[in-house]
Amino acid sequence: MPTKMTMTRWLVPVVVMVALGTLVVADAASAQPRGERGARAGRMGRGGGSPPGGQLMHLRALDLSEVQQEQIRSIHEQSGEATRAADEQVRVARLALQDAVTADVVNEYAIRAVANELGIAEGDAAVLRAYLHAQVWQLLTPEQQVASGEAEAELERRRGQRRQRMGERRELRQQRR
């Protein structure tokens, strides 16, 4: 059985790589033009929302220098494989949970076991995103960090408005029935 020290030696680089890859994917997804179907299209062709974490989705609006752009690109390239691996683990765990939930016979133990695996996979992916976010955040100037925070606040305000409109539409549909 590996020692805690041995596990730490390999886990930290993996976590960092997955986090970096997640930011690359998130940045690429945010750059997709609106109105086109693609990776971000959700049900019924609507946008699927922001990627998990929604961190630093607005890098293009921060007036990054050429050096910063290259550093961020390098971080993304280094993390790509780890990010893809973490995303695949989450995808497989979600499918397994769906299979367990829709099985012919309810097996609470199996459902809970698979749900725990999904939680661990999502936790691992979140830790990687956090490392990626931290690495990119450190490359930003204080002014860019402030602008990033303001952009995040604006995105959250818009999300809140969208949720409110969706709730109002849902109520109207229910009233019509």
Convert the pLDDT of each residue in 28-57 to its tens digit. Answer: 444 434 343 344 333 333 333 334 334 455
Partnered with residue 41 across adjacent β-strands are 47
Average pLDDT, the chain: 77
User: Please, what is the angle between helix 4-31 and helix 66-101, to 10°?
Assistant: 100
Give Cβ neighbours of residue 30 (< 8 Å, ≥ 6 apart): 50, 57, 58, 60
Convert the pLDDT of each residue in 69-125 to its tens digit. Answer: 899 989 989 998 999 999 999 999 999 999 999 999 999 999 999 999 999 999 999
Any idea where the domains of the chain sit in the sequence?
Answer: 4-34+50-87+125-176
Tell me if the pTM is above 0.75: no
* pLDDT for residue 120: 97
CA dihedral 51, 128, 69, 77 (to 10 degrees): -100
More confident residue, 30 or 167: 167
* pLDDT for residue 51: 42
